[in-house]
Amino acid sequence: MNDTTWQGRTVLVTGAEGFIGSALVDELVALGAHVRALCHYKPYGAAGNLARYASDHRAELLAGDVRDPFVVDEAVAGVEVVFHLAALIGIPYSYTAPESYVQTNVVGSHAVVAACRRHGARMVHTSTSETYGSALRVPMDETHPAQPQSPYAASKIAADAMVLSYHASFGTEVAVCRPFNTYGPRQSARAVIPTILRQLAAGADEIRLGSTTPTRDFTHVSDTVAGFLTVGSSDAALGRAVNLGTGQEISIGALAELLIQVSGRDARVVVDEARLRPEASEVDRLLSDNGLARSLGWEPLTSLEDGLRDTWRWVLGTDEPGSTRYVV
């Protein structure tokens, strides 16, 4: 499957209502794909980030749960490529409810890859840079050891192994995208960048954070989406994990100062002990080696400063929700 266009293809996106998932749906629709969007069932029926597609034939909204193999089988039947983004995310909650992460992230991913095997669909599975834990060497390429420093990370390591085993065992077309700290419009306030920006937008003169010393490799959502599409159309990615990061790092403290600068507000950073992770669980450094992704034809195009300005405009509401155009 070397054709890099998506015109006329039928694809499934799980976790489609989420931050990255909804951006991916937007781009696939813009590129001419017919998209099935599987979202977690809600009894009140809200479509959230995908509300615009409620009466748009280009996207078919499905409600269900990836832990249910019957729902997943029906969703996968007849599609060419499955982008599997559905997951229980958020590190702090995984300390409280680790079994929930196993069920959604491991059992759910198995349901998806098993359905892909039955129906002959290609699967692009979503991993996370948290699987690497604190850097043992930098930059971190795909051979960096996995280190489960939280139940969340452990569940994603297990899910990665499960889906890749289907490629090795059965020849199922599987590739793994491993994003590094994606940020941008629509991201929930649980993440550090929208947390800081929302405090600034509310007029706070103190920005309350957990540890400010860890470093991260922040990737704008438009670049992450482009990476998913590159991996999804690349035969060379099959059976492999592919890092999607910029190859640049910044400490959380320096990031906060940059966000204050971007916002034009006057504030200072304060460490809030209630926001600190357990000491052994904190990932101190993440910095990607994106050489493999570049060899497939992908490169990050959005600078951190430009991406933060884009996110700040979204937080202020000066852009309509979802107005960002995600270009490959």
Query: Could you tell me which CATH class the domain 10-187+220-246+287-301 is placed in?
Result: alpha beta
Q: Which amino acid is at 46?
A: A
Q: Which amino acid is at 192?
A: V
Hey, which residues are catalytic here?
152
Domain boundaries, given as residue ranges, for the chain: 10-187+220-246+287-301
Q: Which amino acid is at 273?
A: E
Q: Which amino acid is at 94?
A: S
Write the pLDDT tens digit of every residue in 65-120. 999 999 999 999 999 999 999 999 989 899 999 999 999 999 999 999 999 999 99
Q: 232 pLDDT band (50/70/90 cuts)?
A: very high
Phi, psi at 94, each rounded to 5°: -70, -20
**Positive or negative torsion for Cα 17, 20, 24, 26:** positive
Q: What angle do CA 249, 141, 117 make, to 5 degrees?
A: 120
> What confidence score (pLDDT) does residue 2 get?
40
Chain centroid to Cα 124, Å, comes to: 12
Q: What angle do CA 49, 53, 54 make, to 5 degrees?
A: 105
- Indicate the burial class of 96 (C-beta count within 10 angstroms; 0-12, 13-18, 19 or more): exposed
